[in-house]
């Protein structure tokens, strides 16, 4: 038997074994539970993988996420057949985004969120790949213990209509806004990008915390586009008052290979932010990037402390964890189990990253 064949046999078991320990040195149930301290706030980054309703939104390319009966016209079939990627073309033609599929999708997303804090979920969730406020309200309604306030989502210009958003128990201190990066050097690709959603929350002690929900350009776009996104995020942080706390959470789409080859975290992250998963000794990643045959932390939570304060908030030691404890989140080989509409199985091709900050 060749080394290659041995590796094929062992890889699923090795991946599964790597995920069995907690993604921090403390026990997984402890990391997912509520903090006992009075002043503690949990923050999650969660790419929910195509949370769409099944209504055609004018001006958005959401034709894959329609019920099958709405896909029978020749115009729809012709439009789908122009899609070059086989999987995307097949979804456009055959995916039955029925009410049953939507209901199941929302139920497993709710289960994933409810593994935190005894069913209440994190205090703040930065979400990616949400079509609109309507479908996000349905997810909020499926979380009766959460106490989440009305969702924070502003429609952006992504051509597919996927937006970034927040669910939170913390009140907004000022209106949220979208902050556009300048991708004008990439006119043919700019339509496949999302603006940063900026929202400022009031912490339990009255301090302010500005959060950025981000979804950077996908890995098949040039590295330079993600560099633009990182520089834009750092500019936004630099514009805040020095005494303001800040976090950025979401899908940074930076693979481990790209990070190593281009020094992405060393150049654009660590000088400005604390990286939650680096406080998590046993974390392997939030996404298994098959193209590189490697784990990556596409999903990150970054925290930036405030200056000149006598009541500092900081990352709670041992609180960083990959929240992947529900059965539907994990494949037999131990990787994230993407949602499958035909089988009504899986959740997302990303696992959520969770961390707690405390005073």
Q: How many CA atoms lie within 13 A of 328 on its CB side?
A: 20
Q: Is residue 70 part of a domain?
A: no
Residue 94 counted as domain residue:
no
Residue-wise pLDDT for 256-315, tens only, equals: 999 999 999 999 999 999 999 999 878 999 999 888 899 999 999 999 999 877 779 999
Assigned domain for 149 exists: yes
- Asked if residue 353 belongs to a domain, the reply is yes
pTM: 0.90
Task: Tell me if 18 is assigned to some domain.
Answer: yes
- Residue 248: predicted pLDDT: 98
Nearest CA among 163, 157, 77, 95 for reference residue 128: 163
Does 87 fall in a domain? no
- The stretches of the chain forming alpha helices (DSSP H) are 3-19, 28-32, 74-81, 86-94, 99-114, 133-141, 223-239, 256-262, 264-268
User: 152-153 and 172-179: which strand pairing?
Assistant: unpaired
Decide if 141 is inside a domain: yes
Instruction: Please tell me the distance from the alpha carbon of residue 336 to that of residue 330, in angstroms, as a whole number.
Output: 5
Q: Angle at Cα 344 formed by Cα 338 and Cα 345, nearest 5°?
A: 40
pLDDT, residue 234, reads: 98
What sign results for the dihedral spanned by CA atoms 328, 330, 333, 337? positive
pLDDT of residue 13: 37
**76 within domain boundaries:** no
Number of domains in the chain: 1
**Angle between the N-to-C axes of helices 99-114 and 133-141, in degrees from 0 to 180, rounded to the nearest 10:** 60
Which parts of the chain sit beneath pLDDT 70? Answer: 1-31, 33-37
pLDDT digits (tens, 9 = 90+) for 59-100: 899 999 999 999 999 999 999 999 999 999 999 999 999 999
Half-sphere exposure for 112 (CA within 13 Å, toward CB): 34
Residue 221's CATH number? 3.60.10.10
Parent domain of 210: 3-52+118-358
């Amino acid at each position: 038997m060749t080394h290659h064949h041995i590796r094929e046999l062992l890889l699923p078991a090795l991946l599964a074994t790597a995920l069995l320990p907690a993604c921090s040195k403390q026990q997984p149930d402890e990391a997912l539970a509520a903090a006992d301290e009075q002043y503690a706030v949990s923050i999650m980054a969660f790419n929910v993988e195509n949370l769409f309703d099944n209504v055609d939104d004018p001006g958005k390319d959401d034709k894959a996420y329609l019920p099958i009966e709405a896909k029978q016209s020749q115009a729809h079939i012709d439009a789908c057949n122009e899609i070059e990627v086989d999987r995307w073309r097949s979804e456009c033609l055959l995916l039955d985004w029925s009410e049953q599929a939507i209901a199941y999708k929302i139920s497993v997303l709710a289960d994933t969120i409810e593994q935190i804090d005894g069913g209440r979920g994190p205090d703040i969730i930065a979400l990616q790949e949400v079509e609109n406020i309507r479908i996000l309200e349905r997810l909020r309604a499926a979380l009766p213990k959460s106490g989440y306030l009305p969702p924070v989502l502003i429609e952006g210009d992504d051509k597919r209509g996927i937006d970034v958003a927040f669910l939170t128990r913390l009140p907004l201190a000022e209106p949220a806004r979208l902050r556009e990066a300048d991708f004008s050097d990439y006119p043919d690709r700019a339509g496949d990008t999302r603006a940063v959603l900026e929202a400022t929350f009031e912490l339990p002690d009255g301090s302010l915390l500005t959060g950025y929900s981000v979804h950077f350009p996908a890995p098949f776009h040039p590295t330079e586009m993600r560099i633009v996104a990182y520089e834009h995020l750092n500019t936004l942080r630099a514009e805040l008052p020095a005494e303001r706390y800040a976090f950025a959470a979401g899908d940074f789409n930076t693979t481990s290979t790209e990070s190593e080859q281009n020094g992405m975290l060393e150049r654009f992250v660590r000088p400005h932010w604390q990286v939650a998963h680096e406080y998590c000794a046993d974390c392997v990643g939030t996404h298994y990037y098959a193209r590189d045959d490697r784990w990556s932390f596409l999903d990150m939570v970054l925290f930036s402390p405030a200056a000149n304060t006598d009541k500092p908030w900081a990352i709670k030691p041992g609180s960083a964890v990959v929240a992947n404890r529900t059965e539907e989140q994990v494949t037999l080989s131990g990787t994230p189990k993407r949602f499958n509409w035909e089988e009504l199985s899986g959740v997302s091709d990303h696992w959520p990253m969770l961390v707690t900050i405390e005073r």
